[in-house]
Amino acid sequence: MTFEEHRDTNPEARFTDWLRDGAEPHWTRMTTHRFAHELGAGTLGDAVAARYLVQDYAFVNSFVALLGYAIAYAPSMPSKRQFAQFAAAVTADENDFFLRSFRELAVPEPVWKTPELGPVTRDFIDLLQSAGRSGSYAQALSVLCAAEWSYLTWAKACPPERPRQFWLSEWIELHAIPPFEAFVTWLREETDRVGASVDDETRRVMAANFRRMMELEEAFFDAAYE
């Protein structure tokens, strides 16, 4: 269904709802994945957590580069500020979380500093780079929106009692706290606004990016068990 058809069925329909619907079944499989359930229950194995965090640290590195592109492409100073403030949080508090977790899980420095990238991580990095280098704010938004909104969704579904292991509890908390939710709310509104103003071909590319992201998000959780 095109966005226009989607809007015809429901005039209230948001562009980002159309993106999410177009990414099924991956959206639902990722946001209700065994990985997220075990994370919430505190039963995720240490080896699974360590494997995931090493690959995710490499992902986040490319993710920060994409935030840099979003700062460059954003059309106004208030939009640039949203990305800049978010990038500051990721490179400070979140980086500290990764380093403390690697220490606690006894992951040697060379393993997290120069990791052996899994195939899903490589595909992710390619997608983040191509969205960044596209020169298109719309494309950057479609990728960022998939990554952030899906993380907010599984984290908000976690039970309120947090696991005792800090690398699990803080990872949930980071993605369920009000400032993160506020950022995702803004990011969806920004993506709704841009999606409504671009041509049909750009909308198709945004939907393809969003869907590919969710396919990789699901595969990324799977890969932590392999």
Per the annotation, binding residues for substrate are 56, 94, 148
- Neighbour count for residue 219 (Cβ, 10 Å): 18
Closest residue to bound ligand VIB by CB:
147
157 touches ligand VIB (CB under 6 A): no
Binding to ligand VIB (CB under 6 A) within 48-77 occurs at: 56, 59-60, 63
Binding to ligand VIB (CB under 6 A) within 180-219 occurs at: 217
Closest listed residue to residue 183, CA positions, set 94, 96, 100: 94
Q: Which is nearer to ligand VIB, 3 or 224 (CB)?
A: 224
151 touches ligand VIB (CB under 6 A): yes
220 touches ligand VIB (CB under 6 A): yes
Clarify whether 161 is annotated catalytic: no
Q: How many residues does the chain have?
A: 226
Cβ 76 to ligand VIB shortest distance, Å: 22
Euclidean distance between CA atoms 59 and 158, whole angstroms: 23
Euclidean distance between CA atoms 95 and 69, whole angstroms: 20
Which residue matches tokens 């100073």? 77
Which residues of the shown chain bind ligand VIB in the complex (CB under 6 A)? Answer: 56, 59-60, 63, 90, 94, 147-148, 151, 174-175, 217, 220
Which residues belong to the active site?
A: 217
